[in-house]
Structure formats: structure tokens, C-alpha cells
Structure 1
Amino acid sequence: MCIGKCSRFTGLGLIALALLSVVLNLFLLFPNLDGSYLRNKQISSHAMRMPGVWAGGLMVLLGGVQTTMVGFKVKSVSCCRTCFDMLLSGLFCILALVGAAVSFVFSAAGLLSGPYCLHQVEGEAALEWGYPYISPDLSGLTTSTEISFPEKSSLKLSCIDPPDIETWNSHFYVSLGLVNLLEIVLCLSQLVNAILGVFVGHCDQKKVCITKTKMAARSCATVT
């Protein structure tokens, strides 16, 4: 596939994934599509930082738009301008790559820390908002490297409000993480594509020149 065509498909893919990242992060801010939790600031801190909006969304979107413009508009410019555009595309891809990586880290952290919810304090009858799956007792880390997870029965009973927040958070954090991984893959592929474009230019230009030459030859033959 030519460098220009690769840039078009990669750029459009990055744009679509960036918009999807924003949507997934917004779903995390509205558990069960209820806005009262956001108004009361009863949302996970990882979701409140909105990494899927500014990192996996805006930063990747900038790279996707620039890459798409390079793929569609580079035909009509000179060879030197093509090399400059591909170099600029590589820089934007690095920016998008950093954004996707940051969003992926926040997604993984949000998934591991569990949801922020109303739960019963262990050993007490009181209810409080917090992270029931983050154990305050870290003494086990000094004697063992094993990671223990709550039993399935306790997982279903830990969070009282919002209802079924465990499933909601896990599904959207996993989806956001997968989107960020795809963004990273596309950014890396476009980075390689941009490096090649800096040195060899845009192969679509050669095809255009060949096409024009053939058309000119046909017109000359017709006149003769």
C-alpha cells in the first residue's frame, strides 16, 4: 500500500477511535445514565480526570486530522513540501501516541482500583462512599507477592449505590483500554509510515505523473 493511502486509512481510523474514546469516557461519568452522581461528585477519580477526552481523545484527534490531511492533500504539493508534511505527521503521531498511552494507563488504574460507590464498611453497620476493593491493609505486600481478589459473592454485595456499578465500570474501562491499544498500534504504524515518507516521498505522486503521461500520449495519438 502506498504511503499516501496508508496515511488516509490510518488518519481516519485515529479520528474514529478518538471520538469513541471520548464517548466511552463520558459514559464513565454517568453511571447508569444518571447525572446525579456527577453533580454530587460521586464518580471515580480516574474517570473524573477524563483521560479518554483530553489524552485518548483530543491528542489523538489532532494526530488523526493531520495525518488524514497529509494523505488526501499531499498530491498537489511539491516533493519538499511532502517531506515536510510527513515529518510533521510523525511529530503529531508522537503526540497522539503519548495521549493514547496516558489514557491507557489511567484506564488500567481505574479498572484495578474498582468503582467509587456507596458500600458497607467492613465489620461495621455504617455506609460510606469510597473504593471498597482497595484494601487499606498493605502489610501482606511485605511478606508475599501474591495478589488476592475478593470472592464473587462479596463483589456483588460490596457496592450498594450506584446499582451494578461494578459491571458498568469494568465494561467501559476495558473498552476504553482496548480503544487506546488500537490507537497506539495505529500511531506506531503511522510513525513508521511518516519516516518512510520523509525519505521516499509520496508514491501517489508517481502514479499521477504516469497517468498524466499516458493521457498526454493518447491525446497526441488522437491528434496525429
Structure 2
Amino acid sequence: MCWRSFTRCLGIALIPLSVCCIVANVLLYFPNGETRYAKDNLLTRYVWFFSGIAGGGLVMILPAAVFMNLGDCDGCCGNRDCGKSCAMLGSVVAALIGLAGASYCFVVSALTLTEGPYCRTSGDWGYPFANQSGKYLTERSTWSLCQEPAHVVEWNVTLFSILLALSGVEVLVCGMQVINGLLGGLCRACYHRSHYSLNA
């Protein structure tokens, strides 16, 4: 029973994480609250990968729903306990889907932070920090290279860091459910198999 309760708690935890990922990703389309940069396609290319909306957000609805509504399968040959094992093992599949979505968000966020924002410098639009392997993150004095959108470096670093952290937690949550589901399903199945053999 404790395995299933833990699974439901993990499902509840995924809901605020996914909502925050969606909000953070949406905000990336409006630096300084302006819409013209999105209209003119003057945003960092990775913003259009929808990593927070899709990977860290909408994909998480499936595992969250499965975890929170974890029930029993019909069972095997009328064995109710087998049905509980089946449900736990089924939650592992949902957890793997969530793990894939969260990992996608995590990787895209990390790549974006490494490359830096797309902005207008004194010359033209481009990626002034692209060849620095993320060194600009610790050299705030160089952030003024981006003249437009104003404060775009701070905007991108803050929001993509949030996405990186949130998706990292989602990876952890889904990873825990993979382990929890396997232990809950296989251990229960083994226990009842041995119990049935003894009674036979």
C-alpha cells in the first residue's frame, strides 16, 4: 500500500512543476513584456523548441494523471493482488514517458544557457556568446553586449535556469517512480507467487 501512496504523492508533485514550466516558457516569448520580438522572429532559436510547454509541461500531464489515479488492473486469473502489481508496473511506463519529456526540457535549457541569447549588438543580430561555452554566465560585465531586447541576457538566463531546475526535479520524480513502480510491482508479484506456492 505504501508504494501506491508514494506514487500518488509523486503525481501531485508533478502538477505545480509542469505548470511552472509552461509559464516560464511562455514568458520567454515576451522579453520585457513586448510581443514584437516574437512576431519578428527575433528570439533565441531554442525558445521555439517548446521545451517547457511540451517537454516539462504538457507531457507531464500523463504521468501525473496515472500516478494520482493509480488503481488496479483486472488481475490475472481472478487474482486481485496480481492486478495491483500490474498497475504499479504500468505506472513505470508513464514514468518513462515523463522522464523523456523532462529530459528533453533539461537538455534544451542547458544548450540554450551554453549558447546564450539571440540579440542585437553594435553590429547586427546574432549570438555574441555562442563560442564561449557558457563562460558569459559568470562574466556579467559582458552582458551589456546585447543592446536589444533590453536585459535579454538576464531574462533568458533567469527563465532557462528555472526551466533547467524544474525539469531536473521532474527527472528526479519520474526516476523515483520508475524504481518505486518496479519494486512495488515485482516485489508484490514475487511475494504472492511464493505465498500461493506455500498454500498450494
TM-score (norm 2): 0.83
Give the structure 2 partner of residue 67 of structure 1.
67
- Provide Cα deviations, 1:79-104, integer angstroms capped at 9, x if missing partner: 23222221111011011111111110
Select the structure of larger CA radius of gyration: 1
Larger deviation, residues 83-92 vs 167-176: 83-92
How high is the sequence identity, in percent, across the aligned residues?
28
| Aligned ranges 1:87-98 → 2 under 5 Å | 87-98=89-100
Asked if residue 197 in structure 1 is aligned to residue 157 in structure 2, the reply is: no
Distance of 1:15 and 1:153 partners within structure 2: 38
- RMSD (Å), alpha carbons: 2.5
Asked if residue 187 in structure 1 is aligned to residue 189 in structure 2, the reply is: no
Larger deviation, residues 43-52 vs 193-202: 193-202
- Provide Cα deviations, 1:127-155, integer angstroms capped at 9, x if missing partner: x21111124xx9xxxxxxx9864954332
Distance of 2:187 and 2:169 partners within structure 1: 27
Distance of 1:68 and 1:54 partners within structure 2: 20
Gaps of 5+ in 2: 190-200
Gaps of 5+ in 1: 122-127, 139-145, 203-224
Asked if 2 retains the 8 angstrom alpha-carbon contact of 1:97 and 1:188, the reply is yes
Distance of 2:95 and 2:33 partners within structure 1: 34
Distance of 1:90 and 1:152 partners within structure 2: 43
Give the structure 1 partner of residue 48 of structure 2.
48
TM-score (norm 1): 0.74
- Provide Cα deviations, 1:93-120, integer angstroms capped at 9, x if missing partner: 0111111111101001111111111112
Closer/same/farther in 2, CA of residues 171 and 10 from structure 1, 3 Å limit: same
Distance of 2:24 and 2:134 partners within structure 1: 28
Give the structure 2 partner of residue 105 of structure 1.
107
Asked if 2 retains the 8 angstrom alpha-carbon contact of 1:15 and 1:65, the reply is no
Counterpart AA for 2:180: N
Distance of 1:152 and 1:29 partners within structure 2: 23
- 1:170, distance to aligned residue in structure 2 (A): 0.4
Counterpart AA for 1:130: G
Closer/same/farther in 2, CA of residues 153 and 199 from structure 1, 3 Å limit: closer
Counterpart AA for 1:178: A
Asked if 1 retains the 8 angstrom alpha-carbon contact of 2:103 and 2:167, the reply is yes
